[in-house]
Amino acid sequence: MNFQNIRPVGKPDDFFDAAFSRAKKRAAQLRSKGKKLSSGQEKKIEYVRMDIIKDVLESKLIDILKDFPDIDSLNEFYQELIRTTLNYVDLKKSLGAINTSVRFVKKFHRDYIMKFKRANNQKQYDKLRREFYGKMSSVVKRIKNELKYLEECRRVMRTYPDVKDMKTIAITGFPNVGKSTLLNKLSKAKGEVAVYAFTTKGLNLGYMKIDSRKIQLVDTPGTLDRLEKMNDIERQAYLAIKYLADLVIYVFDLSEPFPLKDQIKLYKRLKDENKKVLVYFSKADVLDLDMDLVKKYKGVVWADDLKKKIKRIL
């Protein structure tokens, strides 16, 4: 799911301006020949105005509903991500309010078409037009707060990764231990690599091929602390491991940019998730590894054997 495609929601005034100005412009075009119009011709122009206003407002509201995903049809990762980064109930209510407003736009349009059919002079046309404009304005003004909240949701959702439904490997460990470097080695991704902590600003995604199979790689930031203490990006990482990962590669850095005891603590916390885990020691080619320490970890894999090991597991 690519949440980047959700367009800005807009404000009630944006909708009014687009609908009313288009209707006014079309009415002016129909009167542009300068001839005095009959009552019947004026009535047709009012029908055109109402049709345009109804079509523009309905279209803009339906576009919002189309852009936002059907939350209940999303996979567990996205559903849980929405629940932990947004107010799920308010999001559903806001989308429901938009749907209700579409129905009101259609209803008021039908009602006033019938009223115009019974009208027979310009004074009545003017009165009904003002009433119709007022009704349509009230429909959109009534959902001002919902539109505002949906725009806030859109901005948060734009930070969500575009994960695919396929076999997935999560690469995890402390910041700045070489996760992005490993991602780049295994895939064609070019994750940002820097020499300071928390360089990954989101979930970096990459893909590798083993034989004819495509496998998704997810570089996860953060230290998997308690969920309520995580920021939004760290929540994404935790949920990616929980719901997406078929295999986890845990990266140790024995040069200790973070204390080894803390890296071990995180590793043990990860084991509690009951995932298949491979241990990878970064910078092994430049370090004099303590082999007694290495032997403590099952599933240790070296760079040269990594793809072979992944193939056997997945």
168-313: CATH topology is: Rossmann fold (3.40.50)
Q: What is the reported pLDDT for 266?
A: 85
Which CATH number does 3-157 carry?
1.20.120.1190
Q: What is the reported pLDDT for 295?
A: 55
Q: What is the reported pLDDT for 194?
A: 38
CB crowding 119-153: b at 16 or more within 10 Å, else e: beeeeebeebbeebbebbbebbeebeebbebbbeb
From CA 232, how far away is CA 235, in angstroms rounded?
5
What CA–CA distances, in Å, run from 97 to 3, 8, 69? Answer: 21, 17, 15
Direct distance between the N- and C-terminal alpha carbons of the chain, in angstroms, rounded to an integer:
23
314 residues of the chain, pLDDT tens digit each:
789 899 999 999 999 899 999 999 998 888 877 678 888 888 899 999 999 999 999 999 999 999 999 999 999 999 999 998 899 999 999 999 999 999 999 999 999 999 999 998 989 999 999 999 999 999 999 999 999 999 999 999 998 888 898 999 999 988 888 888 888 888 865 554 433 344 445 688 889 988 888 999 998 876 666 556 677 777 788 899 999 999 999 998 877 777 888 888 888 888 778 888 898 888 665 455 555 555 565 556 666 678 888 888 88
Distance of CA 64 to the CA centre of its chain: 13
For 18, phi then psi, to 5°, come to -65, -45
Considering the entire predicted model, what is its pTM? 0.80
Q: What is the reported pLDDT for 243?
A: 93
From CA 217, how far away is CA 16, in angstroms rounded?
46
DSSP 201: -
170 - beta bridge partners?
218, 248
Ranges of each domain in the chain? 3-157, 168-313
Q: Do domains 3-157 and 168-313 have the same CATH topology?
A: no
From CA 77, how far away is CA 95, in angstroms rounded?
21
